Structure 1
């Protein structure tokens, strides 16, 4: 699980003589907020997570943190805001983290009382806490939208684009037309070649009329033939 590996890295990197820094809190917040749906947080893991944030609070209140960029406070409050909104914590753990948010916003001027004896945050604190909760809700909604879009893209990628069958049909049709046109052209040429032959034959037939009479032989020629 990614969240578990993040917790182990933070524990290793913040061990003395090293100290916690804002980057550690940011990574932890990101891992919880972007927790995959298939990762199930059981009671053992939720207790481990609560112990980790308890150590972070203790280090922050005692000043044993490395805050070179002055962002530790903001990442600390953001982390608490994300954690108190998770369903896998018990009611007591959630109330405890809400009191830590109040404690951080008060800048340590008042020590957190037990959850059952709390008089409740002031109006200003309630507004700040409400804003944090709204921000968490908005971020979660945006994440859900992005996940939905990502799933839709994966579905679209799974479809295979089919090549349109219209183009081969059009090519076959154009080839058939070209063949028909060529055949018509050949037939036309043959018809042109045959036309002069037929015309010539007809003209010859007209030029040789059958004789209507034969020349008669003269009597002189007939008598001469008889005498001989």
Structure 2
């Protein structure tokens, strides 16, 4: 039986989205299954508005699809769309690093605050808070690049929703996620542009989970070098 207790109103749409992601990833909601807004709203004790918001986000990242005059249905959850998004994201964030680091616009104090927030959230086991702090960290670097076209392309990837899906689907060790960002911050602070760009790219390719890394080197499928 599904645990569908009412959720706090503060981030209702996001919590419904994450709850549906868990049910899709686990197979509880099967590919092809119709998602009825009124039923979901009743399950979580809310109106249809936050449900609609959650379904829009899931559609934007390819987990559900809306068919005219038929409703919203679960799509086959294929990792390919996540993989592709991380490859594109790696290129965008590397470009942002190349612009921001030489310009001296990287907000290191804000990045330290994000890493601290990630560590504290990891200690609590709060997946959502880890994801939010991670998105904030990377958005600060994107903003520091001062390139609106680049920022628009990055935002169009639905970074927040995709990050939530990745953390829920992959279930990485949360303290390791925080330390990955601490390592990236240390390289940025070193001022070594080549090393910062390399780690920025590798950081995203880690989650692309491809058979090769950002340098084209084959990964050991039994113990991938991520």
User: Considering only CA atoms, is the larger Rg found in Structure 1 or Structure 2?
Assistant: 1
Relative to the length of structure 2, the TM-score reads 0.24
Between Structure 1 and Structure 2, which shows a larger proportion of helix residues? 1
Whose relative contact order is higher, 1 or 2, with alpha carbons under 8 Å and at least 6 apart? 2
Relative to the length of structure 1, the TM-score reads 0.23
